[in-house]
Amino acid sequence: MTSRHAEAQALKGHLDVLLLATLAHGPQHGYAVKEALREGSDGRFDLPTGTIYPALHRLERAALVTGTWSVVDGRRRRSYQLTAAGQKRLTTERTNWREFAVAVTSLLERTPWPATP
């Protein structure tokens, strides 16, 4: 498994919360969400734009985001914003992630025990 592939698989498990995080500062449409994800990760999470939309639809069905239509430059555009449930979920996931990251960092950076003779 290449590191790129492993990273994509790992991202899959966290995609929902990352999408919620990109919407934390206000409504965004699909392309803007994708760009926020790419820029916010310094280019590491550069997903195909088309795959962002099914993920946003999944979050909408779960009532974590809500979508509204508008017309921009003659095109129909759907923008998404966090619901109260989405905000709550994001807060919970942030706390969980911080605790997880602290635990992993603590283990990875701990001075090793002396080897057993």
Partner 1 sequence: MAGDALIERHLAALARQLPAAAVDELADGLVETYEHHLACGLDRVAAAEAAVAEFGDPAQIIASFSRQAPGRRAAITLLATGPVFAVCWGPSLILGHAWVWPIPTTATVLFGLALLGVVATLVIAATSRHDYHRTRLAAPGGIGLVLLDTAALAAVLFAAPALVWPMAIAIPVSLARIAFTVRLVPHVLAN
Residues that bind partner 1 (CB under 8 A): 29-31, 34, 48-55, 57-58, 61, 72, 75-78
User: Cβ closer to partner 1: 49 or 92?
Assistant: 49
Q: How far is the CB of 30 from partner 1 (least distance, A)?
A: 5
Q: How far is the CB of 63 from partner 1 (least distance, A)?
A: 15
Q: Could you tell me which of 64, 18, 81 has the C-alpha nearest to residue 45?
A: 18
Residues 6 or more apart whose Cβ sits within 8 Å of residue 30: 49, 52, 53, 56, 78, 80
User: Cβ closer to partner 1: 46 or 99?
Assistant: 46
User: Cβ closer to partner 1: 48 or 112?
Assistant: 48
Cβ count within 10 A of residue 57: 15
Assign 60 to helix, strand or coil: helix
